[in-house]
Structure 1
């Protein structure tokens, strides 16, 4: 495979993982956000989905973010009778964000990003080696 194609594939992977990291960061930042009005929903966790797309210009399959969707899992609830968003029983809905899951996703995202970075570094070194052989 052409080394420049490898660079395109790895850089697309890094971009996709960077976008995923942004969404995970938003989830963690809003993990304790509650609704502001009675019966309102709190922050809803978001999930990134990926797809393979053909880069016609380069002639390679690349990964890209397909969509950012809302997690449909149930909200939690906590007893806070004085909160403005509390229902008649005094319960407030809490976000469906689990910090432990987000941290695991963040770690996986970081490792994928680093793997793509390593591919770029290795490809660059091979290109430099090839150039030095040609001299």
Structure 2
């Protein structure tokens, strides 16, 4: 029975991690045209309980993408230098949309796993009542 409860914890932790990832992806999309904006990355790390692997994950601290910012030529932009160039954002909209879909699909898969464990627990309790 404890394995069923552990599966709740594992799937819930994965849903929290994917939710955090999706939040950062949406921030990246919102800042696609913000000059000087560095893309946020959400790495995951495994949660250890008592020094042993638990199967649960959590979002690690946010990292900034260190890819060079593109130089944009627009002399009319207020941030442009004397040469008419300013640093743009290193956010690629296609990559962000793909990351958002991956996070959404992972969240849905963990939600199904959570629901399956819930149904199994309910069935087990019904059997024990009889």
Q: TM-score if structure 1 supplies the norm length? A: 0.87
Counterparts of 1:8 and 1:131, CA distance in 2: 19
8 A contact 1:55–1:61 mirrored in 2:
no
1:111 is aligned to 105
Counterparts of 1:129 and 1:119, CA distance in 2: 15
1:18 is aligned to 19
1:29 is aligned to 30
Deviation at 1:61, TM superposition (A): 3.2
Deviation string 1:31-84 (CA, Å, 9 cap, x unpaired) is: 0112xxxxxxx111110111111134xx82310111211100011122210212
2:127 is aligned to 133
More helix by share: 2
Structure 1: tracts of 5 or more residues without a match = 35-41
8 A contact 1:81–1:91 mirrored in 2:
yes
Aligned partner (choices 65, 69, 72) of residue 71 of structure 1 = 65
Length, aligned pairs only: 126
2:10 is aligned to 9
Counterparts of 1:111 and 1:16, CA distance in 2: 13
1:94 is aligned to 88
Structure 2: tracts of 5 or more residues without a match = none
Counterparts of 1:55 and 1:103, CA distance in 2: 34
Counterparts of 1:133 and 1:103, CA distance in 2: 45
1:49 is aligned to 43
SS in 1 for 2:33: coil
Q: TM-score if structure 2 supplies the norm length? A: 0.91
